[in-house]
């Protein structure tokens, strides 16, 4: 079986629809066919300031949502990054192989640091992609299921793996990004020129999975489209309509071409209303399953402890190999 690894940051409130359609949906599918490791990356979360209590809550909520979305602890390894110390340890070694200019070229860093300002930008935010590389390489992952916005970080991971292998001998599997064509990038419902994102979206443009479904339905019904009348997939000319078609397709499995046919001769209103209903039908069982896990924190902690133990047994082997090749003496 090929191995997959992916990670997601805990977010206050809940995940958004872009996280689910771009990433989590494929995690659920891949646990059936791959040896799957999934991590809630709480170390990454503190690259911007976090209130400790809020972080704890967001982390439990993240785990509950991943289980609510269909991750099955019997089919995959789900764990918290901070419970596997090898992530931070390998990140240090990789930091020492990463060029300063190389890290400075990461577009997510450039965007985020521009928003935080020089004083607000931490060194942790700067080396964030290196920690991400460590996450992936510790598990010798073949594929990394992510949204389009993570492509550059996976490229860096490949470069670092090849660099280490070249200098110290074959050690790491060089991973590839696994990006879904139909939902690689879900856009803001109010401004379809930007991706749906917790930091950049307008409140009405972002669909939070744990919100009251009524609230999200309204966002679909008031989604920004264009002044035309034809329902056609055309991201250049019709970014809003195309985004709605992508979401519709991803939630139902119906191809975009088939949807264009289905909506021939119809105006945008019916598309929006129908999509709002489809979302509501999908999200209701997701929310109730998530709530069941939130109501049983002991079970949640048990699942995460087991996951961390399984993850460590793999991560420790890789780190030991790396330390030995690097020239560190073993503890007697
Ligand atoms: P994060 O937590 O920002 O996002 C989690 C996943 O959601 C995807 N995503 C989207 N997909 C489609 N459309 C959107 N609008 C959208 N917004 C977010 C992201 O691409 C991601 O797959 N750096 C990572 C977390 C991470 C990681 C890793 C990922 C840490 N270590 C190792 C893979 C492997 C991040 O911040 O994702």
Cβ 144 under 6 angstroms from ligand 1: yes
Between the CA of 230 and the centroid of ligand 1 the distance, in Å, is: 33
Mind listing the pLDDT tens digit for each residue in 126-165? Answer: 999 999 999 999 999 999 999 999 999 999 999 999 999 9
Can 181 be counted among the known catalytic residues?
Answer: no
pTM reported for the whole predicted model: 0.97
Q: Catalytic site residue 325?
A: no
Whether pLDDT at 332 is above 90: no
Confidence band, pLDDT 50/70/90 cuts, at residue 110: very high
295 CB-near residues (< 8 Å, 6+ apart): none
- Tell me the two tokens of residue 234: 């055309």
pLDDT tens digits, one per residue of 68-107: 999 999 999 999 999 999 999 999 999 999 999 999 999 9
Contact partners, residue 261, CB within 8 Å, separation at least 6 = none
Question: Which pLDDT tens digit goes with each residue over 21-43?
Answer: 999 999 999 999 999 999 999 99
Please give the share of the chain, as a percent, with pLDDT higher than 70. 100
Which candidate, 327, 269, 323, places its Cα nearest to that of 90?
323
Ligand 1 center–CA 19 separation, angstroms: 7
Q: 65, 300 in Cβ contact below 8 A?
A: no
Annotation says 198 is catalytic: yes
Distance of CA 2 to the CA centre of its chain: 20
How much of the chain exceeds pLDDT 90, in percent?
93
**Alpha-carbon span 268 to 258, nearest angstrom:** 16
Alpha helices by DSSP H, listed for 71-209, are 86-95, 100-104, 107-120, 123-138, 151-168
Q: Measured from the CB, is residue 45 less than 6 Å from ligand 1? A: no
Q: Read off the pLDDT of residues 168-186 as tens digits, 9 standing for 90 and up.
A: 999 999 999 999 887 789 9
């Amino acid at each position: 079986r090929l191995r997959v690894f992916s990670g997601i940051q805990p977010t206050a409130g809940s995940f958004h629809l872009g996280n689910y359609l771009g990433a989590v949906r494929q995690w659920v599918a891949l646990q059936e066919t791959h040896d799957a490791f999934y991590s809630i990356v709480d170390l990454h979360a503190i690259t911007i300031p976090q209130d400790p209590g809020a972080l704890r809550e967001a982390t439990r909520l993240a785990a509950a949502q991943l289980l609510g979305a269909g991750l099955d602890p019997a089919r995959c390894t789900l764990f918290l990054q901070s419970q596997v110390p090898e992530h931070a340890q390998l990140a240090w070694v990789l930091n020492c192989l990463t060029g300063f200019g190389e890290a400075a070229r990461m577009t997510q860093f450039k965007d985020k640091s521009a928003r935080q300002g020089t004083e607000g930008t931490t060194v942790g935010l700067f080396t964030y992609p290196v920690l991400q590389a460590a996450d992936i390489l510790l598990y010798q992952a073949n594929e990394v299921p992510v949204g389009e916005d993570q492509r550059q970080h996976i490229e860096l991971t490949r470069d670092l793996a090849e660099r280490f292998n070249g200098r110290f001998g074959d050690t790491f599997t060089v991973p590839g990004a696994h990006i879904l064509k139909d939902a690689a990038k879900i856009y803001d419902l109010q401004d379809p020129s930007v991706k749906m994102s917790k930091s950049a979206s307008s409140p009405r443009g972002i669909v939070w999975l744990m919100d009251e479904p009524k609230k999200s339905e309204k966002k679909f019904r008031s989604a920004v489209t264009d002044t035309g009348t034809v329902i056609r997939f055309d991201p250049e000319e019709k970014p809003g309509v195309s985004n709605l078609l992508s979401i519709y397709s991803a939630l139902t499995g119906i191809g975009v071409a088939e949807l264009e046919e289905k909506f021939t001769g119809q105006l945008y209103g019916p598309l929006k209303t129908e999509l709002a209903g489809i979302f509501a039908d999908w999200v209701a069982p997701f929310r109730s399953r998530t709530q069941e896990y939130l109501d049983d924190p002991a079970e949640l902690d048990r699942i995460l402890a087991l996951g961390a133990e399984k993850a460590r047994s793999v991560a420790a082997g890789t780190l030991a190999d790396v330390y030995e090749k690097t020239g560190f003496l073993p503890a007697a």
